[in-house]
């Protein structure tokens, strides 16, 4: 940083303050502020809020670790990410449940969450004006495994994706990683 400051100081003295100022002003004028596409922004915010609502209703308590964050990617569509814990970690100070009960609860919550998000995406994706027919709506669920001893096979993430042109047929891509 000091090297940069010294270089700038030497350059400004050799070029003259007016030349450096003119260079800076010219660079500032050549950059324009990006425009905001309000329809894309509205659709992104709607998807983000809906994913948060579905996750909060499906995973009780403090299960939603990071609320949904969504963005639009040119040529792809809208992507929302969310981090959840389907079961709280074991606590040595309360009565713990058996491994079978934990697995059953987690699998049920996982199925419910995937089913509700899939249903939402199939219903809402065709109505989104901001994405092209070849673009998609995708929700990436990051799953925190708070009980790895009970759930050794729990995937770290689930990716649920619906192309706008395939939404009416109910075709959904679900991947677990």
Residue spans of the domains in the chain: they are 1-32, 38-176
What pLDDT is recorded for position 97?
A: 83
CA 91 to chain centre: 30
Percent of the chain residues past pLDDT 90, beyond the cut? 67
What pLDDT is recorded for position 60?
A: 80
What pLDDT is recorded for position 95?
A: 73
* Residue range 69-77: mean pLDDT, rounded: 96
What pLDDT is recorded for position 2?
A: 45
Q: Measured between alpha carbons, how far is 138 from 170 in angstroms, rounded to an integer? A: 14
Of 50, 51, 68, 38, whose CA–CA distance to 130 is shortest?
A: 38
Q: Measured between alpha carbons, how far is 70 from 72 in angstroms, rounded to an integer? A: 7
What pLDDT is recorded for position 96?
A: 76
3-state helix, strand, coil in the chain (%, to 5): 45, 20, 30
* Residue range 15-35: mean pLDDT, rounded: 55
Does residue 25 surpass a pLDDT of 90?
A: no
Task: Specify the pTM.
Answer: 0.78
The string of DSSP codes covering 48-86 is: HHHHHHHHHHHS-TT-EEEEEEEEEETTTEEEEEEEE-S
What pLDDT is recorded for position 29?
A: 55
Q: Measured between alpha carbons, how far is 153 from 143 in angstroms, rounded to an integer? A: 12
Tell me the CA distances in angstroms from 112 to 7, 44, 105, one per residue in order. 60, 23, 11
Q: Measured between alpha carbons, how far is 167 from 163 in angstroms, rounded to an integer? A: 6
37-59 tens-digit pLDDT: 888 999 999 999 999 999 999 99
What pLDDT is recorded for position 26?
A: 53
């Amino acid at each position: 940083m000091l090297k940069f400051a010294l270089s700038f100081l030497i350059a400004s003295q050799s070029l003259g303050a007016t030349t450096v100022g003119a260079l800076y002003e010219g660079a500032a004028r050549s950059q324009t502020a990006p425009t905001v596409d309000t329809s894309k922004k509205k659709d992104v915010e709607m998807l983000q809020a809906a994913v948060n609502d579905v996750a909060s209703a499906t995973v009780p308590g403090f299960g939603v670790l990071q609320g949904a964050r969504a963005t639009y990617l040119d040529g792809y569509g809208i992507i929302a990410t969310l981090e959840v814990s389907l079961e709280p970690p074991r606590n040595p100070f309360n009565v713990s449940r058996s491994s079978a009960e934990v697995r059953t609860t987690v699998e049920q919550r996982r199925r419910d969450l995937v089913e509700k998000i899939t249903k939402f995406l199939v219903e809402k994706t065709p109505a989104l004006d901001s994405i092209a027919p070849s673009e998609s709506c995708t929700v990436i669920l990051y799953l925190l495994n708070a009980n790895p001893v009970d759930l050794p096979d729990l995937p770290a993430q689930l990716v649920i994706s619906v192309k706008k042109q395939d939404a009416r047929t109910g075709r959904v891509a679900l991947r677990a990683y």
